Structure 1
């Protein structure tokens, strides 16, 4: 499998997504600090929470309408909103104007744009990719996203506090370029999957009945629950695990005294470097094995790594745990997306992608709850809890695969023959 073998839409999306992630991640992580300084922590928390909730609602609506009017129209509309929002965010932080409230309003518009574009773009990738291609595509996307986040955070750290106008101007330029590419080079993909055998009543179904069908799809909801548990472990890293290391860890590493926060930064650096170096060859190597096997081994490694991070105060063991959980993540994460793409119905792809995005919000909530629980339970109990979460996720993932035969004969599933290959 080579990059040049992929559909043109996918090749373009991977490039544009890289630059979008690069620029967006140079802003988003620093907005909480900006709003806290300018408006206070309470207002900042309320505004960020409102943005997340609004983005979730908009995402569900975008998923529904994308399956009815097409992918490209919504993607172009969302990108127009993004350009508009970023123009005024740059203006609100320029030498001629300094307005925190205009920045807040435009940041909300930017969040709405992201809520629209993410499920639609994910559905477009599924539209024009085969089962054989998806593991490579998602592995490549995983690599580009992590590299973009790393360099985006570095760019934001250098410019957000000292020169927001320049930073927002760079992001605006990228968004304008992305809009031009979407308008001129991206093709509509919804018509590539057949609607000829879909009942008219289903085409005209309301948003509530569409997402009602999603909730009644037992296989998908089992997979959804598994995703929540698996991703919730990742959200523990910068919450309970970071706090625990800060409070409990102090050691020497190669004759250097290191604090808990330094150890936490080292764990993040190991994850970033490993992803940058081995994600692509790892993705190609995993093609040799069945997705069920890769998912199982990956989840075992991923869970074990987090359990060790939750309990150990030995520096070398924490380094080993960082390597283990990263390898596990490299194994399970792309395969999880492949399996998801193979189980959703052709006629409601974007709606299912929008519903799947809710799993990450639920996981983020569990991450916050984990921090509160960690204040009560000892570290070994948290490690046991992580093991139970990982085991639960693995069992639910495998259960969703075992439901394949039943589901494919019901609820209008996609019926791709390749889905059976991935579950074998």
Structure 2
């Protein structure tokens, strides 16, 4: 499988998603600091929570309507909102204006735009890919996302505090180019044959649609697995970072290393490994069964995080960083392939919208882990991580087997 052999929409989406991720990661991680300084930590936390909730709600609505009126229209609307929001974010932080209120409002609008785009973009990839291609596509997408996150964090770190106008102008220009690409180069991918039938899905209201999604036992087991697995990832920059800062100090090659420096080294190992091996690794994994890859990957991923939870030996921490990265490289693309294979064609974007909620739920668990870690010893947190990882693995393995409810949903979709 080669990049040039992929469907045109997939090739374009991978490129535009890269720049969209870069835009988000150059802004979002630093907005918490900005808002805390400008309006206080309490109000900042409330605003960030509102942004997450608003993104979840509009994502559900976008998923529903995307399965009824098509992908492209909503993506163009969402991207137009993003361009508008970034323009006024730049204006609100320019040499001619300094408005905290306008910054907050436009940041919320930018989050809403992203909430609309995510489930639709994911559904679009499933629309035009087959099972053979998806392992490679999701491996490539995983690589571009991680590289974008790294570059975005670097841009934000260099520009956000002192050069926000330049930063918002750059990402606004990127967003405008993405809108142009969506308008003139992306084609509609939804299979409209469902809408031409007597009992077309558009006649099913939103509550019934998401009722069917949440009653799909196989998908909800998969959802639970995703929450548990991703919640481990969110522990890295929360409990693990805090623990290393307070507990760790050691020598490595005769150099004294602090806990924060060790955390930075772990992040660097993760970034470099992903950048170097993600694409060839995804090709190599294509020859093995999904169940085997998922089992081995989740075991390595869990072992890596559990050791990071309690160890203060530098070389074991470095080994853990390698283990969890390789484990994530194995399980994450397979997770996407499994998701694409289990959702019914008629409600793809709706399922993708609910899947997106799993990341927000995992983020909340990540924050909760920091609070729990204040009361539990490090070895107890390691045991908790093992239980979470094993729980995720068991649920992923169970979701490999189609359930009766899944079959019923597919039959209802075929009959409609």
Aligned pair 1:324/2:323, yes or no?
yes
- 1:375 maps to 374
- 1:410 maps to 408
Matches within 5 A, 1:136-175: 136-175=136-175
1: CA distance between counterparts of 2:9 and 2:16?
10
Contiguous gaps of at least 5 residues in structure 2: none
| CA-based RMSD | 1.5
Structure 1 stretches of 4+ with a deviation exceeding 4 A read 196-199, 413-416
Aligned pair 1:346/2:345, yes or no?
yes
2: CA distance between counterparts of 1:300 and 1:162?
43
Would you say the 8 A contact 1:343–1:413 is kept in 2? no
Range with bigger deviation, 209-218 or 405-414: 405-414
- 1:60 maps to 60
- Secondary structure at the residue paired with 2:26? coil
- Secondary structure at the residue paired with 2:57? helix
Would you say the 8 A contact 1:215–1:221 is kept in 2? yes
2: CA distance between counterparts of 1:414 and 1:91?
50
Give CA-to-partner distance per residue, 1:34-72, whole Å, 9 cap, x none: 111111111111111111111110000000000000000
2: CA distance between counterparts of 1:26 and 1:372?
27
Would you say the 8 A contact 1:407–1:413 is kept in 2? no
- 1:21 maps to 21
Q: How many residues align?
A: 414
What is the CA distance between 1:409 and its match in structure 2? 2.9
2: CA distance between counterparts of 1:353 and 1:414?
19
What is the CA distance between 1:408 and its match in structure 2? 5.1
What is the CA distance between 1:191 and its match in structure 2? 2.4
Would you say the 8 A contact 2:373–2:381 is kept in 1? yes
Would you say the 8 A contact 1:195–1:347 is kept in 2? yes
Structure 2 length normalisation: TM-score?
Answer: 0.97
1: CA distance between counterparts of 2:38 and 2:75?
33
- Secondary structure at the residue paired with 1:55? helix
- 1:93 maps to 93
What is the CA distance between 1:24 and its match in structure 2? 2.1
Aligned pair 1:289/2:293, yes or no?
no
- 1:179 maps to 179
Structure 1 length normalisation: TM-score?
Answer: 0.95
Distance 1:413 1:245, change over 3 A: farther
1: CA distance between counterparts of 2:287 and 2:179?
38
